[in-house]
Every structure is written in C-alpha cells, then in structure tokens.
Amino acid sequence: MNRQTDDLLKAELERLTQMNAGYLGYPLARDFSFDALAPFLNLQINNVGDPFTPSSLTIDTKEREIEVLHFFSKMLRASIENTWGYVTNGGSEGNLYGLYLAREAYPNGMVYYSESTHYSVKKNLHLLNIPNIVIRSLDNGEIDYRDLDRTVKLRRHRPAIFFMNVGTTMTEAIDQLDKIKAIITKYALKDYYIHVDGALAGIMAPFYKEKPKFDFQDGIDSISISGHKFIGSPIPCGIVLCKKEHSDRIAKSISYVKTKDTTITGSRNGLSPLIIWYALKKLGVSGLRQRYESSKELAEYTLTQLTLIGYDAWKNKNAITIVLKKPSDLICKKYQLAVQDDIAHIICMPGIEKSQIDALIDDLKETVFEKPPLVEDFNAMMVEF
C-alpha cells in the first residue's frame, strides 16, 4: 500500500513537472522555488479570522500577512490606516468579497461588468444574489463605454456597482476608470461602488510607463489581485484590499456573532501569506519591475515574430498577452494555448523561455498559407469560373 502510494506520488510529481514546463497560454509564472518553506509543511498553520486581530492560538503567520497587505497597500496608494484586507485563496475569492462589500453598501445596487469578465464573477453574483447586467465589450476587450452609458442611463434610480477589469482573461484589456467616472458625473450618480479585478495586471500596471488609473488614490473602493499568477505559487492565492469603511460595515452587520472576523471563511490558510511574503521579500519592488519588463519584452518579441511570418496577431499596449488567430488543435495542445472561439492567446509569464516562443513560431510558420483571395479577386475568380 505505502509503496504504491509513494510510486503514485512520484508519478504525480513527474507529470506535474512536465506539464509545468510546457504551457504558453496560462497566466501562471513558473520560475519560483519555495524549498525554504518545506519545513512548514509539517506544522499546523492557521490565520483564523481577521488578519489584524491577534488569534488566541498563535499558530498563524498574521505578521507576515500584514506585511504583504501593507506592501500592496503602498503599491496601490492606499492609506494604511483606512484600508483593510486579507490574503485570499485566489482572485475569485477577492472578487466575491469585493462584491459582498458592494452589496452591503448598496443592497439595492445593480452590478455592471463587461462580457470579457472572468466567468467566476457571474457565478459569484449568483451566490451573492445581486442583480447584474453584462455590458458589451470593445474589440480589444475593454468594456464598451457607450453601452455602459446607455445601460446606466436607464437605471439612474439604482445605486451602481462597477466591476472593472484591470487585465481581462483573454486579451489583458484594462477598463478606463476616467470613462467610467465620466458616466458617473454625467448622470450625477451619488451612490456608486467601484471594484477592480486586477487578477493578473493589478500587480504589473503600477510599473507601466503610463500607469492606468485603478488604485485607491484614483478612487476605487476595493481590489482583488492574484498571487499565484504573476508571482507564482503552488497554491492559488491573492489579496483583497478595501476601504476600511466597507469592511467596518460588514463587521457591524454581523456583530451579533460577537466576532471581529469579517473574512469569508473561519480558518484561513497561513501558508500562502508566507509564500507571497517570501517571494515579495526576495524580489523587492525592483525585482517585480524587472520581472514585468522582461515579460513585456518577450511579449513584444513574440508579436514581432508573429507579424514577420504574417500571422494574424495583436496585443493591448503594455500587455504581456498576445492574441492570435486560433492555430490548429495540434499546435494549441502542444503549446497549451488557451482558446476562445476563433482566437487563442500566449501569455509571456515569467519562466517562459524565448526558445519556446521560437519553437512555436517555427511551427506556426508552416501553417501560414498564401492569404485567401480578397473579395474582388474572389469575384473575378467566380466570373472566370
């Protein structure tokens, strides 16, 4: 039995190692090593309840968790005193939490979000039982501001909850806060809430040459960012940050529970805060910046190569995601490209080698046939036929 268990475990490790090396289409950095954390696997760790409230049993890593939250608070220009948050089990939980805060702020609110939004959002809106409307997207994946305008216009009597993407799943598009705010101003909305899904790009955008508006100084109410994506982690994780007034509202409404715990779960993972903390300490701000610069360079290189071989591809400014015409199933599988309808994407995450991009380009080159005839030529052909 135990022999068999060990064999199975070994096989699992080998398979995962192999699968980790191959993918080009998923937003998961793989250049990390957490060997230093191995001894923690033999300990009970539990960051139960509120990160800022000491546990009665201190088998937690709350001090490290708070350091992580402060790091992100600074990066997102939040006031340390007026900001609350915690390390989540991934981007979806952070979005769930942000929408929960929004619902409590405006029980009669309507959520607006683009059709490019991650599918888990719809799922969690259902869980939270909040009315919501999907807004069309522009071709690049940004929310269609005209459609948003028209839709909000008809519902000026309801508080508006804007779910804003900073890096959509498929094209890494960033919704423009200024344009959303213009709609808020146009319709004199006084009751509104802005949550940001910064799953992938929330940690990179502060390093853009022209930083997009999406942080607390810019006027958002809450944000969710993944830890396992750009930093990389064996466990899905992330952070959620919000204005303290919102988490205080929750604390108040559940105060009859006699707990200060406003997190979603009771027992909370104490290993992932340690993972994010360790990575942030090792990288530092300069390491993160460098990491983004390298990814962006590789993305630009990839786009150039695709263009050179005449393959249909494009990317959003600053993005590390290249959108391309869906290659053959064989190629998509070989390079583990993520596909949606007739497009696919490559995400140049830390850990991807230039040689892997070159190999893909070589394979794609062979599939670029002469371009199909233009409509005029086609008509001419038909006449000749």
Residues 322 to 341: which contact a copy of itself by CB under 8 A?
336, 338-339
Near a copy of itself by CB under 8 A: residue from 19, 308, 330, 381 = 19
Q: Which stretch binds a copy of itself (CB under 8 A): 74-82, 188-196, 281-289, 303-311?
A: 281-289
Near a copy of itself by CB under 8 A: residue from 66, 68, 84, 91 = 91
Near a copy of itself by CB under 8 A: residue from 73, 114, 124, 316 = 124
User: Measured from the CB of residue 119, what is the shortest distance to a copy of itself in angstroms?
Assistant: 5
Query: Whose CA is closest to 343, among 320, 322, 326?
Result: 326
Contacts 24+ apart (CB under 8 A), 291-294: 291/29, 291/230, 291/350, 292/204, 292/207, 292/230, 292/320, 293/207, 294/350
- Cα 107 to Cα 51: distance, rounded to the nearest angstrom: 26
Q: Which stretch binds a copy of itself (CB under 8 A): 145-153, 260-268, 366-374, 377-385?
A: 260-268
Which of 1/154 has CB closer to a copy of itself? 1
User: Measured from the CB of residue 48, what is the shortest distance to a copy of itself in angstroms?
Assistant: 8
- Residue 86: strand pairing partners: 240
Cα-Cα end-to-end distance for the chain: 72
User: Measured from the CB of residue 162, what is the shortest distance to a copy of itself in angstroms?
Assistant: 20
Residues in the chain: 385
Binding mask 41-70 for a copy of itself (x = CB under 8 A): xxxxxx---------xxxx-x--x------
Near a copy of itself by CB under 8 A: residue from 74, 146, 211, 282 = 282
Which of 74/126 has CB closer to a copy of itself? 126
Which of 39/372 has CB closer to a copy of itself? 39
Near a copy of itself by CB under 8 A: residue from 83, 92, 137, 321 = 92
State which of positions 291-320 bind a copy of itself (CB under 8 A).
none
- Cα 73 to Cα 220: distance, rounded to the nearest angstrom: 13
Sign of CA dihedral 98, 178, 202, 298: positive
Total residues contacting a copy of itself by CB under 8 A comes to 88
- Cα 116 to Cα 135: distance, rounded to the nearest angstrom: 9
Query: Whose CA is closest to 162, among 186, 183, 141, 139?
Result: 183
| Residue 261: Cβ within 10 Å count | 18
- Cα 102 to Cα 359: distance, rounded to the nearest angstrom: 46
Query: Whose CA is closest to 345, among 362, 368, 324, 315?
Result: 324
Near a copy of itself by CB under 8 A: residue from 85, 90, 141, 206 = 90
State which of positions 194-253 bind a copy of itself (CB under 8 A).
226, 228, 232-236, 253
Q: Which stretch binds a copy of itself (CB under 8 A): 92-100, 214-222, 307-315, 365-373?
A: 92-100
- Cα 347 to Cα 150: distance, rounded to the nearest angstrom: 34
Q: Does 5 bind a copy of itself (CB under 8 A)?
A: yes
Q: Does 286 bind a copy of itself (CB under 8 A)?
A: no
